[in-house]
């Protein structure tokens, strides 16, 4: 089942997404903002990854499309813990589609899917301390809380950077729905 927000559709990755995903994974600008680090990736490697990656109840990876448009970003719900009913969530958008509310719509759609369909009890993520857009997106626009700081956890851009831990419980989510 695809996941819909008001402005976005989240769907499984297709072979045709190779070029789009390759541009994102090889973008130095995106690399600056995300927590992980990517090696230079070829279309062959990206194609192999697409061939073997499949959605399951352990990990879900999604291309974000503008409704009635093309791909604009990527979202995931991974490390789905069947006992503790928790998962890790991440999102990234190509620069032309930032600042237009697509990310807010996407995260809200992911929250609804995670809590109301997957029956998860908790979502969490980590954000580089300097990524104010991402911290604002989750805390101000989507109701997540800052739960802690991992000091000097990520070496990037020539220095160790703190990592902000954020999360939301199903209880928080339900309170937001009621307010």
Report the interface residues with ligand COA, using CB under 6 A. Answer: 30, 33-35, 91-93, 98-104, 127, 131-134, 136-137, 140-141
By beta-carbon proximity to ligand COA, the closer residue of 30 and 118 is 30
- Written as six digits, the tokens of 78 are 């991974």
Residue 73 makes CB contacts below 8 A (sequence gap 6+) with 63, 64, 91, 92, 93, 94, 97, 102, 103, 106
By beta-carbon proximity to ligand COA, the closer residue of 32 and 160 is 32
By beta-carbon proximity to ligand COA, the closer residue of 118 and 141 is 141
By beta-carbon proximity to ligand COA, the closer residue of 54 and 136 is 136
SS percent in the chain: helix, strand, coil, step 5: 35, 35, 30
Report d(CA 178, CA 5) in Å as an integer: 19
Residue nearest to ligand COA (CB): 136
Angle between helices 102-116 and 170-178 (to 10 degrees): 120
User: Smallest gap, in angstroms, from Cβ of residue 135 to ligand COA?
Assistant: 7
């Amino acid at each position: 089942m695809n996941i819909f927000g008001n402005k976005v559709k989240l769907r499984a990755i297709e072979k045709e997404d190779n070029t789009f995903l390759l541009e994102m994974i090889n973008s130095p600008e995106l690399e600056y903002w995300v927590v992980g680090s990517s090696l230079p990736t070829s279309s062959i490697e990206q194609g192999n990854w697409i061939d073997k990656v499949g959605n399951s109840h352990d990990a879900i990876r999604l291309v974000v499309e503008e409704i009635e448009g093309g791909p604009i970003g990527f979202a995931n719900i991974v490390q789905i813990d069947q006992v503790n009913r928790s998962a890790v969530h991440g999102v990234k958008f190509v620069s032309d589609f930032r600042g237009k509310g697509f990310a807010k719509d996407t995260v809200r759609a992911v929250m609804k899917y995670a809590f109301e369909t997957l029956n998860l009890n908790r979502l969490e993520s980590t954000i580089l301390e300097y990524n104010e857009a991402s911290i604002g997106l989750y805390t101000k626009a989507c109701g997540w809380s800052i739960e802690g700081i991992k000091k000097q956890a990520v070496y990037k851009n020539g220095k160790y950077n703190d990592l902000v831990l954020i999360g939301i419980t199903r209880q928080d989510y339900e309170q937001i729905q009621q307010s």
